[in-house]
Amino acid sequence: MRLGVISDTHGLLRPEVFDIFKTVDHILHGGDVGKWAILKDLEALAPVTAVYGNTDGMELRAKLPQVATLELDGFEIVVTHGDQLGSPTPAKLHAAFPRAEVIVYGHTHRPLLELVDKTVTVMNPGGAGAARFGLKPSVGILELEPGIPPRGRIVEVGG
């Protein structure tokens, strides 16, 4: 199963995302969506699991959870923006969600793909919206296959 991982769109969905995510089976959005239309546009590609982030307004907070848990291809997955942990790190996320095998988060806009405790894959796809903090916009791809650790990569978008 191929997952598209995106976060921190802040109301901007870059056209390149549609090409990068054209073959994904499910999309995970790590919050700071910006507007509901972003999720509707992503749903044209694949089912979407999304959470709200610290900058999302009441409309999105009324429709989205702060933390989403789901199982895909036998993997326990947690999606969160991560701001509830202050400055989220893989270790803090693993401690907060000890049963998760895959943790997707956002908030920092810094792309990260890390293995924690040899069994937990933590991914921050980076900020996909407007470039901030001197970082290039990016998204992630995760590939799940039962019995082996998830494979992932970060893909830069726009500029």
- What pLDDT sits at residue 39? 98
Q: What is the pTM of this model?
A: 0.96
Taking domain 2-156, whether its CATH number is 3.60.21.10 is answered by yes
- What pLDDT sits at residue 130? 87
Residue ranges covered by each domain of the chain: 2-156
In sequence order, which residues have a C-beta less than 8 Å from that of residue 60 and are 6 or more positions away? Answer: 33, 35, 36, 52
B/e letters for 50-85, b = 16+ CB within 10 Å, e = fewer, are bbbbebbeeebeeebeebbeeebbebebbbbbbbee
**Cα–Cα dist 47/115, whole Å:** 26
Beta strands per DSSP E along 46-137: 48-50, 67-72, 75-80, 102-104, 112-116, 120-124
**Cα–Cα dist 48/32, whole Å:** 15
**Cα–Cα dist 45/23, whole Å:** 8
Series of mean pLDDT values for 10-residue runs along the chain (159 residues): 98 96 98 97 98 97 98 96 95 95 96 85 94 91 93 89
- What pLDDT sits at residue 159? 57
- What pLDDT sits at residue 118? 72
Burial of 106 (0-12, 13-18, 19+ CB in 10 A): buried
Q: How far is CA 40 from CA 14, 32, 75, in A?
A: 14, 15, 25
